[in-house]
Amino acid sequence: MKQQKIEEHLSLYFIMGSANCGNRDPVDVLKQAIDGGITLFQYREKGEAALKDREKYRLAEKLQRVCADAEIPFMVNDDVELAIELDADGVHVGQDDEAARFVRRRMGNKILGVSAHTIDEAHQAIHDGADYLGIGPIFPTASKADAKKAQGPELIKHFRNQEINVPIVGIGGITSANAQEVIEAGADGVSVISAIAGAENIQKATEELKTKLR
């Protein structure tokens, strides 16, 4: 996918796994989020009750099909094996996962996202072939157990001021109340878990977020 296209897909980037959906079916959650206007989806199966092996594969496959029907790119968090098995549209890795340069080699020209917290990490990720950077946590989050301290939208401004010009997506505690600040700071999009997966009305919450990104 061309960089311009990736940038457009980052606009409203929804991330979830079964643990983020409470007692709702992740397939329904994803369908409603798509109806609300998400532009990219990442399957992120984490936590104590996380699905494993066959179950994880089956859910991933279902979610991928929902994405394919809606022409929304389907990304996988961390699990490069799964992404390759499914022929997913891409993978997102953090600093503690398989090194981005190896992931790039294994994934060919698929989308590669890398989480970066410092300018050095950003330079390394770009050198390794990242298509975009995930920067955060911007605001405090309850969705990631080992999240670092929230840095505010200033963190994104800092990356832009240091000539980090690749596509950037902000992450962490982003809601319809603060999404605009993240974009104004220089992000191409926002990625959210709870603002969508935790909303009572998923489609409406997604639409609300969407209006803040224009």
Q: Which residues bind ligand TZP (CB under 6 A)?
A: 136-137, 141, 143-144, 147, 171-174, 192-195
2 belongs to an annotated ligand binding site: no
Name the active-site residue from 31, 56, 101, 144: 144
Tell me, yes or no, if 115 is annotated catalytic.
yes
Which residue, chain included where needed, has tokens 């897909």? 9
CB of residue 115 to ligand TZP, shortest distance in Å: 6
**Binding partner of residue 78 among Mg ion, ligand TZP, none, CB under 5 to 8 Å per kind?**
Mg ion
Identify which of residues 113 and 136 has a Cβ nearer to ligand TZP in the complex: 136
Identify which of residues 78 and 181 has a Cβ nearer to Mg ion in the complex: 78
Our CA angle for 100, 168, 57, nearest 5°, is 50
Identify which of residues 8 and 97 has a Cβ nearer to Mg ion in the complex: 97
Tell me, yes or no, if 44 is annotated catalytic.
yes
DSSP 143: S
Q: Which among 8, 14, 143 has a CA at the least distance from the CA of 66? A: 14
Q: Using CB atoms within 10 A of its CB, is residue 23 exposed (0-12), middle (13-18) or buried (19+)?
A: exposed
Tell me, yes or no, if 105 is annotated catalytic.
no
Work out whether 97 is an interface residue with Mg ion (CB under 5 A). yes
191 belongs to an annotated ligand binding site: no
Pairwise CA distance, residues 27 & 5, whole Å = 25
CB of residue 163 to Mg ion, shortest distance in Å: 26
Q: Which residues contact 132 (CB under 8 A, 6 or more apart)?
A: 6, 7, 10, 111, 113, 114, 166, 167, 168, 169, 188
CB of residue 203 to Mg ion, shortest distance in Å: 28
Q: Identify the H or E element spanning 15.
A: strand 12-16
CB of residue 127 to ligand TZP, shortest distance in Å: 22
For the chain, report the end-to-end CA distance as a whole number of angstroms.
23
78 belongs to an annotated ligand binding site: yes
Annotated binding site: 42-46, 77-78, 97, 115, 141-144, 173, 193-194
